[in-house]
Amino acid sequence: MFFQKYNMPKDHTPEYMKQLKAKILEINYKNETLKMSFKATEDICHTNGTIIQGGYTAVMMDSCMAFLVMELTDFIYTPMSIDINVSFLSAGSPGKLFCESKIIKLGNSIGFSSAELYQNEKIIAKASSSLKLIKLGEPKDFLIENMAKDAKIIKA
């Protein structure tokens, strides 16, 4: 109601992305990659708030891969994970993290993507995913209007 009353655009960023302070840094249409940053707090860590819980690590990479697919298809399609394979390579801790996802292959109904998550230039985890593409509807500029307002955009 507040947003309508004052003609302000509503922020449609999912709550879990707000909790992780997710921000899209770069969308590269030419290389089919997307870069994001996250901020991990002690709230999502175990071992006395020192190690990021693995599920949150997976969420960061899964989101980065999904947003890339959605952006490349103008949000006409949403990817539904068939599988996600995660390799935890090092412990992450509270602080800033960076993730880069890339498309391995996008077909008409199935896609494949991968992601790497870094902290302080050290790789924390890698992921790959097989995706079922589900049609949503009309094209949208969701990321540009929400999480990617300041992102670097590289066109093909």
Q: Is residue 7 part of a domain?
A: no
CA 59 to chain centre: 8
| pTM listed for this prediction | 0.89
The domain that holds 73 is classified in CATH as 3.10.129.10
Residues 24-43 have a mean pLDDT of 97
Query: In total, how many domains does the chain have?
Result: 1
The per-residue pLDDT for range 116-140, each reduced to its tens digit, is 999 999 999 999 999 999 998 777 7
106 pairs with which residues across the strands?
111
Could you tell me if residue 69 is inside a domain?
A: yes
Is 9 domain-assigned?
A: no
Tell how many helices (H) and how many strands (E) occur in the chain: 4, 9
Q: Is residue 70 included in any domain, yes or no?
A: yes
